[in-house]
Amino acid sequence: MKPQVSVIVCAYNAEDSVSHTMDSLLNQTLKSIEIIAVNDGSTDKTGDILEQIQKENPERVFVYSKENGGIANARNYALTKVHGEYFGFLDADDTCEPDMFSALYQSATDNCSEMVVSDFWWVNNEGKKLQNEGPYQPGKEMMVNLFATLWNKIYKTDFIQSLDIRFQDVNFRTVDILDTLAFNNKTLRHLQLSIVLQFRLFQHF
């Protein structure tokens, strides 16, 4: 049976954080979830950690290892592995609230939405919540702040695939935010309906 949500985690030399990220996904209240982890040519123990997690959770975790090609290349690769009705992203040093993907998916299906967005917290290395992101009033402020990221959203898979939207395949992490804006901008131009949830489901470190 097709999973309700696929979550993509692209990891490069993330041995200190990736297990926490994966735990937050494995503890989701939404059980029909597929976790796609891409080890992008890590030179530390990231690959070993992900493979062990896959062995312990073979029905939900799918690990792929490839040569290092940069974040855009890894995301594009992961998109070819998605089976879920919706998909989202999580960075390898971030965590999400246990009900994040349940809430996003419920809102998406209730409203027949092609994309759902949530607010989020900024968190420091000690785990202290520094500030929340949102809520924003509809308009430019919301567009600039909430749509410059990937990891607080889910997208309808068939919708993105029909538009053949991909990330610009450039091997420089400094262009990540620009690449994200470009991906979301292409998506927004074709959206019929998107929903913004005014509560925080995500912690960005």
Show pLDDT as tens, one digit a residue, over the chain (205 residues): 899 999 999 999 999 999 999 999 999 999 999 999 999 999 999 999 999 999 999 999 999 999 999 998 999 999 999 999 999 999 998 888 899 999 999 999 998 888 888 765 555 455 544 444 444 444 444 444 555 677 788 999 999 899 888 887 655 444 455 556 556 556 655 555 444 444 444 444 4
3-state helix, strand, coil in the chain (%, to 5): 35, 25, 40
Give the pair of three-digit tokens for residue 61.
């975790």
Whole-number Cα distances in Å, 137 to 65, 82, 134, 146: 41, 33, 9, 11
Fold of 5-204: Spore Coat Polysaccharide Biosynthesis Protein SpsA; Chain A (3.90.550)
Cβ-in-10-Å burial (0-12, 13-18, 19+) of 192 comes to exposed
